[in-house]
């Protein structure tokens, strides 16, 4: 049964050489997507992947589409897509697809943006793409001051405070204010987008054993503990810093709604270990909803028919649920 949505969801092209188009067509053919949507893509590319495409002129056309057709707003490729072989010539089309989706979302003409995986090097080589990833690009397009990456799978949500930077830089970028503001954005999103009235947030330490009283590093006491106290003063049910090696077993996960982590892999590894196939990347702190499959372009299996659409299905259905809750 489809979730109600004020507007159809916009699904971006992703890297044409990766598995994004394949998993989109598989998910569409399975009838597993819980809301009306349209793809901003090359219609000929999706037709070649097995979709029965209807080219539309406006996002709203997707709401009245005949059953069994995939709505596509044209964004033509400059070069034929070759599975597993990214072509910088197509970088412009990939970037325009994202920009158009964001534009529709900001105007309320798309209920959410669901992005398919991109290859940052191909975008840099073909269009001087200057961003570490989707998260930072979407923030720049929308003017969001602090984009927050959340990874979600059944049974676990995690947020890294620092994102796409070398591990050696993470302790240098951490500060109590950043941790506090990231936690506040997470708490607000859990309330508005996930209908959790009083979110419980577990905060991970940076060092082994959360610093063990300063014996293994001072950041936990100097930066993280004050941030936790500040969140609690704001009415957020946060607790920590906690040793990260004991936070993610089943009994520990039952005590919180999301984990606030200090760096990229501390947040991503537990989600991917728990349920790699159904992980979703959500960007919080934007003026619109954005989700994405929590996997990459997977060039090694592109074109082989082995790609699993489960993560995209979860991403679309999560976006639909978030949009419905905001509308309500």
Q: Tell me if the bond preceding 241 is cis, omega within 30° of 0.
A: yes
Q: Using an 8 Å Cβ cutoff, are 320 and 37 in contact?
A: no
d(CA 265, CA 225): 21
Q: Which single residue is written with the structure tokens 């534009």?
A: 103
> How many whole angstroms separate alpha carbon 322 and alpha carbon 328?
10
* Pairing mode of beta strands 113-114, 290-293: parallel
Per the annotation, does 281 bind a ligand? yes
Type and span of the H or E element at 175: none
Q: Which two tokens stand for residue 234?
A: 């704001």
CA dihedral 167, 173, 177, 181 (to 10 degrees): -50
Tell me which H or E stretch contains 102.
helix 91-106
From residue 315, give the alpha-carbon distance in Å to each of 6, 114, 151, 215.
18, 7, 11, 41
Say if residue 134 carries a ligand binding annotation.
yes
Question: Does 209 appear as a known binding residue?
Answer: yes
258 contacts: CB under 8 Å, gap ≥ 6: 150, 157, 158, 159, 186, 190, 199, 200, 201, 202
Phi/psi at 283 (nearest 5 deg)?
-100, 115
Any binding-site annotation on 135? yes
Distance separating alpha carbons of residues 312 and 318, to the nearest angstrom: 10
Residue 213 per-residue DSSP state: G
The answer to the question of whether 164 is labelled as a binding residue is: yes
Question: Is 272 within any annotated ligand binding site?
Answer: yes
Measured CA to CA, the distance from residue 111 to residue 44 in angstroms comes to 25
Residue ranges at the known binding site for a divalent metal cation: 164, 209, 264
Annotated binding-site residue numbers for substrate = 134-135, 272, 281, 290
Q: Which residues are annotated as a binding site?
A: 134-135, 164, 209, 264, 272, 281, 290
């Amino acid at each position: 049964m489809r979730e109600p949505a004020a507007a159809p969801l916009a699904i971006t092209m992703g890297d044409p050489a990766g598995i994004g188009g394949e998993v989109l067509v598989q998910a569409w053919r399975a009838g597993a997507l819980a809301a009306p949507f349209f793809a901003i893509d090359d219609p000929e590319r999706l037709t070649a992947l097995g979709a029965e495409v209807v080219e539309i002129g406006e996002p709203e056309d997707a709401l009245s589409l005949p059953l069994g057709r995939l709505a596509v707003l044209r964004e033509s490729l400059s070069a034929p897509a070759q599975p597993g072989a990214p072509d910088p010539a197509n970088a412009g089309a990939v970037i325009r697809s994202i920009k158009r989706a964001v534009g529709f979302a900001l105007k309320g003409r798309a209920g959410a943006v669901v992005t398919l995986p991109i290859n940052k090097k191909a975008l840099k080589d073909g269009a001087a793409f200057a961003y570490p990833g989707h998260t930072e690009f979407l923030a720049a397009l929308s003017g969001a001051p602090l984009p927050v990456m959340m990874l979600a799978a059944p049974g676990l949500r995690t947020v890294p405070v620092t994102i796409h930077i070398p591990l050696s830089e993470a302790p240098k970028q951490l500060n109590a204010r950043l941790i506090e503001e990231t936690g506040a954005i997470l708490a607000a999103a859990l309330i508005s987008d996930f209908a959790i009235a009083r979110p419980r947030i577990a905060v991970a330490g940076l060092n082994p054993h959360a610093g063990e009283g300063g014996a293994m590093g001072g950041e936990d006491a100097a930066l993280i503990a004050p941030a936790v106290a500040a969140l609690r003063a704001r009415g957020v049910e946060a607790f920590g810093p906690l040793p990260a090696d004991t936070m993610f077993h089943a009994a520990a996960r039952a005590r919180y709604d999301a984990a606030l982590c200090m760096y990229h892999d501390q947040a991503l590894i537990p989600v991917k270990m728990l349920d790699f196939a159904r992980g979703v990347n959500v960007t919080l702190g934007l003026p619109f909803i954005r989700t994405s499959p929590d996997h990459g372009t997977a060039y090694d299996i592109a074109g082989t028919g082995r790609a699993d659409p489960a993560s995209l299905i979860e991403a679309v259905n999560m976006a639909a649920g978030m949009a419905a809750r905001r509308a309500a």
